[in-house]
Structures are given as structure tokens and as C-alpha cells.
Structure 1
Amino acid sequence: MKRTLLLFLITALTFSCGGKKKTFTALNTGNYDQAINTSVNKLRTNKNKKGKQDYILILEEAFLKAVDRDMNAIAFLEKEGNPANLERIYNSYNTLKNRQERIRPLLPLYHVEQGRNANFSFDNYDQRILDTKEKLSAYLYNNAKNLLSNAKRKTDYRSVYNDLVYLEKISPNYKNTNNLIEEAHFKGTDFVKVSLKNNTNVIIPRRLEDDLLNFSTYGLNDLWTVYHNEPQRSVNYDYLMEVSFREINISPEQIRERQLEKEKLVKDGWEYLLDEDDEFVRDEEGNKIKIDKMVTVRCEYYEFIQFKEAQVVGNVQYKNLNTKQLLDAFPLSSTYVFEHIYANYNGDKRALDDDLIRYLGLQAVQFPTNEQMVYDSGENIKNKLKGIISRYRF
């Protein structure tokens, strides 16, 4: 017991010292916020505990240095006068405020050895945050409007969109930001026209075609790509995705048969155990001993397998409608197998294994039509098509 307790104390001390060492290292290498975060987490509980006294001094020093570093950086950025720096300035002021708010609930922090409370010089950054946010919002708005007027590539519109979304986040409902977001998103979106071609001699079921082209069921979530299987007049399409079926092969309806003869030794009641003289064998209490009566049973098993197979082969092509060039092509294939097994027997079915007995009593069923076979293969095709769409990037 004493040995276990000693090992526990040594382990706890090792981890404690290791944590302090890492925090000191973070402080001494300029990772002030890492040192602050670790110290705050340690001091949330039992902050007056002797083993946590060092974290008070680390937090005090790290906070002082972090504030000094951030204020110097802000002063330099403001002196530079570049409006592109406004976001960094705004974020820095928020960091200064949030850092204070993390420490404030812990106060006061009393250091026993030095006989004093830790000193944290807090400031009110609210007005500076508001002033900077107003300047940043105006800059983002004017810059976005200018870029929207002059952008030529979709990547430019997407960049504007990101700036406007950020503007809406920091200044909700700023002027007509929401309208500009919609405009930037529309102009930055790749619109893809989808067509389905059947180059086979087999009719594709209408419901399968509808399922394949119903992109709302694919669960796709791509901000910058929209697929339309019914082209809209108001949209200039950038790309064409063509789903083409080249082969649809359907096998004949088949019934395969097999016959098995099974033999097995099974229990069939009981009988009294006899010795060599045909006398009853008794136990220690004089009772006749019973044993299982084993018999050999035989059975003829007749199995029928209904089988039909459909194979659909095609591909998916992406084309650039502006350059008329083929961008990429992917194979698309699916095989669907219909199989139904039923069986009967002649003899004692106890001779049959369980995997055979399960087919007894089943009857033949109607084969699915060719149209149903093609449709049933569609779920696999749809999953493969979804995989192609999800992975492809223009």
C-alpha cells in the first residue's frame, strides 16, 4: 500500500513539473497566449493551492508581455495607414479584450511567498473596437463594390463573397450587404448543365432517369457548384455533365438445379443400455441406465435457383461549354443480380443441414421484368454518380 502511494505521488509530481516546464518554455519563447491559456486552465480550480503558485507569476508576466506585443503591433499598423490592415487591428483589439475577460473571473490571485496580489493592468477597448469596426466595415463594403464591378473571373467573385460574409458577421445588415452577397455568390458559381444519353437498344425506365437527375436527393453541399438537369434561360452554363449509357445487357431467365443425397446419424428417442449378455446395465443405485437411440437417416434434396442478371455500362463526361473542350471522363457501371432459391426433398429431412432446410417450403416466384432489372441497378449507379460529383472540382 505504501509502495503504491509513493509511486502515485512520484507520477503526479512528474506530470506537475512537466506541465510547468512546458508553460515556462512557452513564456520564454514568446508563446504568451499558450502560457496564458495553460495558466488560466490550471488556476480555475484550487487557485490558492501551493503547487499552483508558479502559474500565478507565469500568468502575470505572460499577460504583461502579450499586451505590450499586441499594442506595439497595433501602433505600427495604424502608423502605416493602410486600410488593408484594419482587419488585423480589429482582431488584435478583440484579442486584447477577450484575454482580459478570461483572466478577470480568477481575480484576485494571491501569491503567498511574495505576499501580494498579482497585478493585471486591464483597459477598456470597447470604443477602439467599435471605431475600428466602423472603418473596417466601410473599407470592406467599398472594396467589395469596386471588385464586383471589375471582377472578371469566378475566383474574384468568390473572394468578394468571403469578404462580404465576414462583413455581415461583424456588422449585420450593413447597408445592402446581403444583396451584394447574393450577387457575388451567383457570379462566382459554376453552373453545370446535366444531360442523360441512352446509346443502347434498351429503354431506360423513366423513373430511373428521374432518380438519376434528381440532384436534390444526392445530399450534395457545394457552395460554388450548381447542377441543373432542366436548363434555365436566365443562366449561362459553364459546363456540361453528360451521363451516357453505352451497354445494357440482361441475361435470360435461368433456373439452375442441383440434387444432393444426405445421410446423417441422429438421435431417435432412447433405450436401455445392455451388456454383452443382453442384461440391463444399472447404476450404483440399481436404476437401469438410459442411452440415446441413434439411427441413420437419409434424404434426397432438390434445389432450384432462379437467376437473372442486368449489367449497365456507361460513362460520365465533363465538358467546358466556353472552350468546347472535354475536361474529364469517368467510367460508370453497375451489375444487379436477381437470385431466388427454393427446394423440396424426399426422405427424412433430419439428414439435411440447417443451411439447406431454410429453403424448404419456399416456392418459385415471378422473374422481374427487364425494366425492373435496369431500375434496380440504378441505386448502385446513383451512388457511383454521387461519388464522381462529390470528388470532382472544376
Structure 2
Amino acid sequence: MKLDSTKFLHLFILLFIISACSSGKKALQRGDYYDATLKAVERLRQSPNNKKARQTLGEAYYRAVEENLRTTRTLDTKINPLNWEKIAESYGRINTMGDEIRRSPAALRIVKNPTSYLGEEIKAKNKAAEARYNEGVKAMALNTREDAKKAYYHFVKADEWVKGYKDVATQITTAREAATLKVLVQPIQVPNSFSVGRDFVQSQVMEYLNTNRRMNDFVDFYLSWETPNYCCADQYLMMSFDQFTVGQVFQKEKTTTAVDSVRRSVRLDDGSSKTITDAVKADYTHHEQYVVSNGLLDVRVVDAKTNRILMQDKYPGEFVWRNEWGTYQGDKRALDDKQKEAIKVRPVAPPPPQDLFVELFKPIYSQLTENMRRFYRSY
């Protein structure tokens, strides 16, 4: 038996509602007492007399409290100060359950006096922030880029536990600066007559490099002509064309003879009409103009301190601009439909060299940016 789309939709909505209205019993059975408590409280908000939800809440809440308190008692914060995070999370779960129960009169009839550990949670959060901050300071003292990245994440986490903890905002900025690889991008080497097009495509490349954060949060790119006194680069990104041709023009012409028979009606002297056939002929010339631009871009990433080439690759690009039109001599009626359309077209001037260069760079751009993304992802 097939279900039509309307019945299927209704069934899906019903299943969704049933799922959303869970009493938390399944979570209780699998030992997730915290989740079971929250689901039972939510169910009681919608249905205050729901038997399953009442039973679930009565069992799950006290087990969840005991489970989380056990975590706070057994974790060793002297050996591993970062355990304060798990302690803070445990107190937070207890307090969240209590807050949710207090917002539900039906739940309060089951758990009449939910416990609160707000002071303990605040203390644990401060201890967690302190532990993360100290780990960040220790990592920064190792004075390597990789350790600066670790320090950055420690400081960010400290700020999440306690917003504005000590001078963590300054530490985050300092750590990120130390962790960031700085790449100085040299101008693409092209003849001066293409500098406008070069500047346009280079800005497109830079926009990708500095906004596409899938690449790496710890790599920044700088254009050398915008930061002429920049002296702290870790790497140089150099681009130049091994082959470069823009605006090479090719023309082709092909002439064919078109012959056809055309019928027409003529009136005779006696007033009658007669159909006669005329043979018509035309010489049709098809014109094609191609403007070809191509190049091979050489890209190198060079270590600024050792001048060692870290990556080198070459990216080909080509763009062909076409213009086609037709001309004829003779009787136009001999031409076929395609030829008649072609003679309506007029030859036009090719785009300026700057535009041709931009088009030539498009296939290069896609290769270049994808490979840059892959290369810098590991940094």
C-alpha cells in the first residue's frame, strides 16, 4: 500500500511530536540521568499529570545529582588543574536541573526542594579560568609558534569560563600574534601595460587568502606594495609568468557558393498568372576572428629566513575570445537561414588587453586558491 505525500507528511509530524514529547524514560534506561531529568521536566510542562514523566523525574533527578557530585569529589585538581572544568560542568548541570524544575509547578511537586550549588559553580569556574590562564602562560614561555597556538586556545578557554579574567584579552591578542604565520605576497610579475589588470586579480587572490578561514586561522597574508616597510615576514609568496601571451589575433575566412531555386508568380497579358522558377546564386563568406591569451603562472613559497623553497607549482590558463559574422555577394535569396542570420552580425573590436588578462587569470585563480588552501591548512 502506498502513502500519498499528504499522509506521509502527517505521519512524519506525528512521529516528530511523539519524539519531542518524550518523558525521558529511554534516557533513564540508558543511564543518562541528566538528559532524562530535563526531558521529564519539559514533558510535565506540557502535560502536568503525565505518569511516565513523574516517575522518570523522581528516579532520574536524584541519581543525576549524586552522579555529578561524585565527579566533583573524585577528580584530582592538584595533579591536573584542568579538572576544574569538569567540576564546574558538573555543578552547572546540577544547577541547570534545579532551575528547570523551579520553572515547572508540576515538577516541583515531585522534587520539592531542588539543590543549588551556585557558589560552588562560580568558584569552580574561577578555578577553571585560572588553570587555563596558567597553562597559557606556560605555553607562551616555550617561545615557539606551535606553543603560542596552544596558549591562544588556553587563553580563549579561560575567557569563556570567566569573561575578562585578569588580562586575558591582552594575552589572547599576544598569543595569536605569536602563533600567526606572516606571508608577504609579492606582486604578480607582468608587463607594465597590464598593471591595472594585475592589481585587480591580485586583490581577488588576497581577498580569498585573508577571508577564507577554512584555510587556517593562524596564517595572515600581506601585499608587499601595501606594506613596503614590513620586515617580519615568515614566508614570501612569489608569482611570475613563465609564458605570457595576451591578445594574439587569428582570422579565418571561408567562401562558399550558395545556389537555390526560387519560385515566383507572374501575371500574363491575358490576366492569368503563371509560376516560374528562378535560379539564384550568392557567394557567402564566413569570417572568424580569434583572440587568444594564455600563460603559465609559476608560484613559489619561500622561507624568509633560509630562502628555502617550501612549495613550487605552475598553473596554466587560457582564454579565447571569438567573433563570427558573414558577408555575401550576389542574390541574398540563395542563402540559407543560418547564413542570413550571420550576415546580420557586424564585426566588433576585441576587448582591451586588461580585460583579456583578467579572463586569462580566471582558470589560474581556481587552481592557485585551491592549492594555497591545501598547502596552508597544515600550518
TM-score by length of 1: 0.72
Q: 1:174 aligns with which of 152, 165, 172?
A: 165
Q: Deviations over 1:101-125 (max 9, x none)?
A: 3444333149xxxxxx423641222
Q: Sort the Cα spacing of 1:341 and 1:163 in 2 relative to 1 into closer, same or farther, 3 A.
A: same
- Shift of residue 89 of structure 1? 1.4
Contact 2:249-2:291 within 8 A present in 1 as well:
yes
SS in 2 for 1:173: coil
- Shift of residue 64 of structure 1? 2.0
1:87 correspondence with 2:85: yes
1:315 correspondence with 2:315: no
The one-letter code sitting in structure 2 at the alignment partner of 1:61 is E
- Shift of residue 184 of structure 1? 0.6
Find the aligned partners of 2:31 and 2:131 in 1 and give their Cα distance: 32
Q: Sort the Cα spacing of 1:55 and 1:330 in 2 relative to 1 into closer, same or farther, 3 A.
A: farther
Q: Deviations over 1:112-163 (max 9, x none)?
A: xxxxx42364122222222222333333334433432x12321211111112
Q: Sort the Cα spacing of 1:23 and 1:178 in 2 relative to 1 into closer, same or farther, 3 A.
A: closer
Contact 1:312-1:374 within 8 A present in 2 as well:
no
Aligned partner of 2:195 in structure 1 is 206
SS in 2 for 1:365: coil
The one-letter code sitting in structure 1 at the alignment partner of 2:223 is N
Q: Sort the Cα spacing of 1:314 and 1:29 in 2 relative to 1 into closer, same or farther, 3 A.
A: same
Aligned partner of 1:135 in structure 2 is 127
Contact 2:25-2:52 within 8 A present in 1 as well:
no
Q: Sort the Cα spacing of 1:337 and 1:39 in 2 relative to 1 into closer, same or farther, 3 A.
A: farther
Aligned partner of 1:229 in structure 2 is 223
Q: 1:217 aligns with which of 189, 207, 230?
A: 207
- Shift of residue 216 of structure 1? 4.7
Q: Deviations over 1:253-288 (max 9, x none)?
A: 12333457789999x9xxxxxxxxxxxxxxxxxxxx
Aligned partner of 1:155 in structure 2 is 146
The more displaced of 184-193 and 214-223 is: 214-223
Aligned partner of 2:270 in structure 1 is none
Find the aligned partners of 1:47 and 1:350 in 2 and give their Cα distance: 86
1:68 correspondence with 2:66: yes
Aligned partner of 1:279 in structure 2 is none
Find the aligned partners of 2:342 and 2:118 in 1 and give their Cα distance: 78
Q: Sort the Cα spacing of 1:102 and 1:263 in 2 relative to 1 into closer, same or farther, 3 A.
A: farther
Q: Sort the Cα spacing of 1:308 and 1:105 in 2 relative to 1 into closer, same or farther, 3 A.
A: same
Find the aligned partners of 1:162 and 1:321 in 2 and give their Cα distance: 27
For structure 2, the 5+ residue unaligned runs are 1-6, 265-278
Matches within 5 A, 1:1-394: 24-40=25-41, 42-48=43-49, 52-77=50-75, 82-109=80-107, 117-119=109-111, 121-148=113-140, 150-196=141-187, 198=189, 205-214=194-203, 216-218=206-208, 219-221=211-213, 222-230=216-224, 233=229, 235-250=231-246, 252-258=248-254, 302-344=285-327, 347-348=332-333, 351-352=336-337, 359-370=342-353, 372-393=355-376, 394=379
Aligned partner of 1:283 in structure 2 is none
The one-letter code sitting in structure 2 at the alignment partner of 1:217 is E
SS in 1 for 2:28: helix
SS in 2 for 1:172: coil
Find the aligned partners of 2:51 and 2:258 in 1 and give their Cα distance: 83
The one-letter code sitting in structure 2 at the alignment partner of 1:84 is L
- Count how many residue pairs are aligned between Structure 1 and Structure 2: 346
- Shift of residue 337 of structure 1? 1.1
Contact 1:253-1:367 within 8 A present in 2 as well:
no
The one-letter code sitting in structure 1 at the alignment partner of 2:31 is G
SS in 1 for 2:146: helix
TM-score by length of 2: 0.74
Find the aligned partners of 2:23 and 2:260 in 1 and give their Cα distance: 73
SS in 2 for 1:342: strand
SS in 2 for 1:147: helix
The one-letter code sitting in structure 2 at the alignment partner of 1:28 is Q
For structure 1, the 5+ residue unaligned runs are 1-6, 111-116, 269-295
Aligned partner of 1:278 in structure 2 is none
How big is the alpha-carbon RMSD for the aligned residues of Structure 1 and Structure 2?
4.1
- Shift of residue 312 of structure 1? 1.1
Find the aligned partners of 1:30 and 1:24 in 2 and give their Cα distance: 10
Find the aligned partners of 2:352 and 2:115 in 1 and give their Cα distance: 79
Q: Sort the Cα spacing of 1:27 and 1:204 in 2 relative to 1 into closer, same or farther, 3 A.
A: farther
Identity of aligned residues (%): 18
